[in-house]
Structure formats: structure tokens, C-alpha cells
Copies of this chain bind each other. A is one copy, B any other.
Amino acid sequence: MSRTADEDPTPGAASQTPGDPATADETPRGISRRGLLGLFGAGAAGVAVGGGAGAAIASSAAASSGVDSTRVYPFAGEHQAGIVTPAQDRLHFAAFDMASGATRDDLISLLQDWSAAAARMTRGAEIGDTGAVGGSEFAPPEDTGEALDLPAAGLTITIGFGPTLFTDASGIDRFGIASAKPAELEPLPRFAGDALEPGATGGDLCIQACADDPQVAVHAVRNLSRIAFGRASLRWSQLGFGRTSSTSTSQVTARNLFGFKDGTANLKAEETQAIDDGVWVQAGDGSAWLTGGSYLVVRRVRMIIETWDRSQLGEQERVIGRSKGAGAPLSGGTEFTPIDLAATGAAGQPLIDKGAHVRLAHPDVNGGIRLLRRGYNYVDGNDQLGRLNAGLFFMSYQRSPQQFITVQKNLARDNLNEYIKHVGSALFAIPPGASEGGWVGETLFA
């Protein structure tokens, strides 16, 4: 076999790679192949292509994963990563159902295997002892390999438990955990205008993989899905290509597919007290095993963009309650000026329309409730009428599902409803983070 080329990286090339090599390399099971390739691969290729092209090659390699592609977020911690982590640019989300006949031990071993794999992938390491190319030629590789040359790319993997994991549709306690089911972990109520499709709704388990490089996020879901084989299988999944929510004050506000800035007033990681109050489940909230965790609501919100695109600019701004360009509230100021819901114009009319999205979602009309949103734009081809199947894959984290439910009920009067349709929905309990070497869900089974 001619795999010797893999095993002779050029040490000198390491200086081309920013970041801390030690972070990516210190795996509990030894130096990973992907770690080596990640550090040296681009440089080695540069030598092969010819001298002088090194800089261009490094830049081209980085282009597939964005500026901060060498960022590494630890998998273990008090809370799972991927919640208050500054929202990465790309998403692959997957909902799973446990296999028919799967046992409690299957579930526990799956969570252990997922956690071990996630800890490795989020470091930029390959899965398993031998990865994609280090094993026997007579065995399937442990890692599928499409992320071999790519850095960690800020990957986070966040694992959640749906209501049906605790009691299935027939009320059966398949895994002996029904008694630990949080009282609030119930399927979301039906909201006005819901047009939910079974193929985008529910799930026993979920994986949220976020990264700066879509190939890294896809690699994560694919390999976790592969690991689940025989124990759980994909129920539905969604790729998101552009984050729409800032979760940190260090981030620019991005635009959704209506062309408006989204997430300006989002909860930000830097607001630590508000995050404690609004995102993390606290001791005494009910289920002790969930302390330090959260609840995740996901909603696939199809946008009727052809209708939107034919509406007047003034109508679009009235619907949202902000200017389209700067994202400033129509009550005046600039993007980050607080919204003045009481402001009126010369004729006494409210500057923020009674049905404006920013009014109905505002904490002042929702008992002070704020959510940590983490949404992504999506486009999934088009329908048979030639309309893009596009919209917002809404995700929000909150201490209690009641926060989302309260706001969503209020949005029944939202001007936006003429232009959107909720076609997918799910709720998951998000356990606290794994301890170093531990696994997500350990507190539930302890």
C-alpha cells in the first residue's frame, strides 16, 4: 500500500497554522491522525504543488472554513457548548428516534459513544483509535474521513432529549426514565397557523452541530448517525447556511432571508445574570439532573418569500418594526437604540405598529421574557411551483419552555404571519455539560 505519504508530514510547515497545536493534539488515546493532517496537511500539499504557492494554498484551505477555523471549543464543561457559544456560521441539526427494541443499556452506551466521539471531533481529532486511514485495510475505517484535512472550525456538538425519550407515544417507559421526566418537557401546544409536517417534527434525541465550516458540521452528524446504527436512526435533519442570531456582543448582526437584521435584541452571552435567569435550569427548578442544562425549541419556519418580495418597503418595515437598512427601530435611533413602544408620529399613530414583530416579541409585552435565539437561514431546493423552499430554522434556548410558549402565543397577532408558515417543531431538554471524560446524560442515569 502506498499510504506512506500520510506518515511523513513536513514539520516545518506547522508554522503556517495559527492556533495552539497542543489543544488539538492532546487526545486521551494518543495523537490523532487528523490532528497531524490538520497541522501539516496544507503545508505538505504546498510542497507537492511547487514552491512559492504556500501562502495562496494556506489561504485557500482556510477559505472553506472561515477566518476563525482554528477555534476550538471544549466539549466538557458545566454547560454544553453550542448554546452561549458565539453562533457559528453553519449548522447541521439532526433529530433521532431510538430503534425499536432498543434497551436502556443501548441508550446509555449510545450517549457514552456520542460523547466520546463529540469530545474528539470538537478538538479537530478523528473518531476512534485509528480514524479514517490508520486502521487495518481489512476493517471499515472508524472515521469517514471527509474532514481529514480540516481544523476544528469551532465545532460544537449539543445533545438533547425529546419528550418521547421518557414516555413514547403509547405512554410506555422504554428506558426506565419516565419518573425523571421534567414536568415541562411536554410537546409544545398547537399555535395559531401551525402547519407542522411529521417529517420535520419531534424526535427522541437531537444533535445540534454548529461550525464555521459546513463540511465539519456535516461530518459530525454523519459520524454520530453512523455510531447510532442499530440503536437510533435519523428522523429528520436540517442544514442551515447562515446564522441569523448573534449570541455575543462580539458579533455583527446578520440578516435573515426577509433581508432584515435579526437578533439585535437577542440575549447575549456577556449578559451573565440574564443568561442565568433565562437560559440555564437552576437548582430547585424541578428536575435535579437537568440543573445547568436548558430547553431547546426548534421551529422550521418556511418563508413565503415570493409574496414578501412583492410587498412594499414601507409594509415590510411596518411588519417588522425596524428599518430594513440599518435595522433601527421605527421609533427612532440606530440599531441598538432601545425600542420605544409608546412613540407616536405627528398624526398620533404608533411608530411601532400594533402588530409589528418587534412589539409582540418585546420583553415589555411578555412579562420581561427573553430567549436566547440561535437561528439559521435555510434553502432546501424549491417546490413544484418553482418557489424556493426557504426560511428560518429557528432555535431558542430557555430555562423553561414556558418562555417560548408565552412569546409564541403573543405572536398569533404578528403581522409577519402573512409571510411565514411554521412547518416543523420540536422541544428537547438539554442536559448539563459532561464532566471531563464523562458523558452527556450521566446525571439522568446516575
B-binding residues in A (CB < 8 A): 1-3, 5-6, 33, 37, 42, 44-45, 48-50, 53, 56-57, 59-68, 86, 89-90, 92, 132-133, 135-141, 143-149, 199, 212-215, 218, 221-222, 225-226, 229, 233-239, 241-243, 249-260, 305-306, 309-314, 316-317, 323-326, 328-336, 351, 377, 379-382, 384-388, 390
Given known A133-B313, A335-B45, A387-B234, contact A326–B149 (CB-CB < 8 A): no
**Is the Cβ of A259 less than 8 Å from the Cβ of B59?**
no
Contacts of A229 in B (CB 8 A): 306
Specify which of B44, B138, B237 is in contact with A382 (CB 8 Å cutoff): B237
Besides A2-B331, A199-B384, A238-B381, 11 other A-B contacts (C-beta < 8 A): A44-B334, A45-B252, A48-B334, A59-B68, A136-B312, A145-B260, A148-B325, A218-B379, A221-B388, A236-B382, A380-B381
Specify which of B250, B306, B317 is in contact with A56 (CB 8 Å cutoff): B250
Contacts of A314 in B (CB 8 A): 1, 137-138
Contacts of A329 in B (CB 8 A): 2
**Is the Cβ of A252 less than 8 Å from the Cβ of B379?**
no
Specify which of B63, B86, B331 is in contact with A89 (CB 8 Å cutoff): B63
Contacts of A317 in B (CB 8 A): 1, 137
Nearest residue in B to A388 (C-beta to C-beta)? B222
How near does chain B come to A212, taking the closest CB pair, in angstroms? Answer: 6
Specify which of B250, B311, B385 is in contact with A60 (CB 8 Å cutoff): B250
**Is the Cβ of B214 less than 8 Å from the Cβ of A242?**
yes
Specify which of B132, B133, B257 is in contact with A146 (CB 8 Å cutoff): B257
Given known A42-B252, A249-B49, contact A5–B334 (CB-CB < 8 A): yes
Contacts of A236 in B (CB 8 A): 381-382
How near does chain B come to A377, taking the closest CB pair, in angstroms? Answer: 7
**Is the Cβ of A6 less than 8 Å from the Cβ of B255?**
no
Contacts of A90 in B (CB 8 A): 241
Give the docked Cα–Cα distance between A384 and B97 (Å): 12
**Is the Cβ of A312 less than 8 Å from the Cβ of B3?**
no
Given known A146-B256, A323-B133, contact A215–B233 (CB-CB < 8 A): no
How near does chain B come to A161, taking the closest CB pair, in angstroms? Answer: 18
How near does chain B come to A323, taking the closest CB pair, in angstroms? Answer: 5
Give the docked Cα–Cα distance between A355 and B54 (Å): 35
Nearest residue in B to A37 (C-beta to C-beta)? B325
Give the docked Cα–Cα distance between A221 and B386 (Å): 12
Contacts of A326 in B (CB 8 A): 3, 5-6, 44
Contacts of A382 in B (CB 8 A): 234, 236-237
**Is the Cβ of B144 less than 8 Å from the Cβ of A33?**
no
Give the docked Cα–Cα distance between A141 and B305 (Å): 13
